Chain A
Amino acid sequence: MIYLYLVATIVAFLSAKKILARFSHPLANPLLVSILFFMALFSLTPLSFNDYAHANQGFVWLLEPAVVALALPLFNQVIEIRAQLKAILISCTLGVVIGITSCLSIILYFTDDRALLISLLPKSVTSPIAMAIANQSGGLPALAAAVVIAVGLLGAIGGFSLLNYCKITNKQAQGLAMGCSAHAIGTAQAIAQGREQGAFSSLALVISGILTALLAPLFVSALDYYLR
């Protein structure tokens, strides 16, 4: 009866959502709390994580059609997007370049392990793209996926508080920033914040994902030149 784990995911998430609704602190995030709950459960009890993962495959599978369904919020904002296309493209390009260069230069401060550097290069994009980049350029796809998820959670949990604190209150700007930095997990959070944020986050997810895939080979050769 491992499929009880599927029910457990739903119950844990929905009850976390209900209980945490009255707290406004960013750490009172239902996604974070349910993940920590299951992590604690599988670390502290003999219950098997593998059974859990197997039972919940369906949810992971649903992420793919959910990404396709993002076309709908995107279409609902198509007039706004067309009007702002130049600003959107410039901001996303800036975000991708800053994301990759800042990440690489900080890691280089600690180590010059090439596999580590390549695995963290695509940390801000959705995991299939990140894994493909890591795989093509000699990184570790599993590490790339793990970092992508961790970064997505970080952005989803702290993103909106940080943006509001820094007076970035434009809804479209918030959406773009979430999509560029925290890919699909950030976009899920942006959808919960509002239609405009959700649409612009979806847009940034797509644009920054494609840009990262296109620019990654350039950054990899620059890195190899530096490490030589």
Chain B
Amino acid sequence: MKPFDLKKVGLTGLKFLTSAGIILAFLYLGKAIQWLTSLPIPGSIFGLLLLFSALNLRLISTEQLLPSSNLLLNYITLFFVPVGVGLLQYSDLLSQYWLAIMVSSVISTVAVLLSVGYCYQRLSK
């Protein structure tokens, strides 16, 4: 059996905490911008744009972000389970206009998927 390497475990933990700290710092920076500008764009989107800029300016390296961003992105679908179950709360609201909502959402979503896909496939080279 391998001896318990305290130094290695500590280092991994520290790297994980650093990456989580960076992501949270950018999230709250984005939230501050949203609060200051009161634009209808969520703080997380500002945070994404700021972090993307910081990566491009080499202020932060991808290695520094990897531990917690990999974890978040690997399980992002799981985080949507409670959001989807939450649709139960809106069943009255949705059932009132269900036909108009269903027909428009389905056709419009298909239209967006296909128009964006076809358009980009033709334009990109």
Please list the residues of chain A having a beta carbon within 8 angstroms of any beta carbon in chain B. Answer: 9-10, 12-14, 30-31, 34-35, 38-39, 42-43, 49, 52-53, 56-57, 59-60, 62-76, 78, 84, 86-88, 90-92, 94-95, 98-99, 102-103, 106-107, 110-111, 113, 116, 120, 123-124, 126, 128-129, 132-133, 136, 140, 142-143, 145-147, 149-155, 159, 162-163, 166, 168, 170, 172-174, 176-178, 180-182, 184-185, 187-189, 191-192, 198, 202, 204, 206, 209-210, 213, 216
Chain B residue with the shortest CB-CB distance to A103 = B108
- Chain A residues with CB under 8 Å of B68's CB are 65, 69
Q: Which of B1-9, B10-18, B42-50 lies at the interface with chain A?
A: B42-50
Q: Are B117 and A166 in contact (CB under 8 A)?
A: yes
Please list the residues of chain B having a beta carbon within 8 angstroms of any beta carbon in chain A. Answer: 20, 23-24, 26-27, 30, 39-45, 47-49, 51-52, 55-56, 62, 65-66, 68-69, 72-73, 76-90, 93-94, 97, 99-101, 103-121, 123-124
- Chain B residues with CB under 8 Å of A152's CB are 80
Q: Are B84 and A163 in contact (CB under 8 A)?
A: no
Q: Which of A123, A140, A180, A209 contacts B41 (CB 8 A)?
A: A209
Chain A residue with the shortest CB-CB distance to B102 = A150
Kindly state the separation between the CA atoms of A178 and B77 in the bound complex, as whole angstroms: 14
Report the tally of A-B residue pairs with Cβ distances under 8 A: 293
Q: Are A206 and B81 in contact (CB under 8 A)?
A: no
Q: Are B120 and A42 in contact (CB under 8 A)?
A: no
Kindly state the separation between the CA atoms of A128 and B85 in the bound complex, as whole angstroms: 18
Nearest CB on B from A170, distance (A): 5
A64-B27, A210-B41 known; A34 and B81 CB under 8 Å? yes
A69-B68, A87-B123, A88-B120 known; A35 and B48 CB under 8 Å? no
- Chain B residues with CB under 8 Å of A66's CB are 72-73, 76, 79
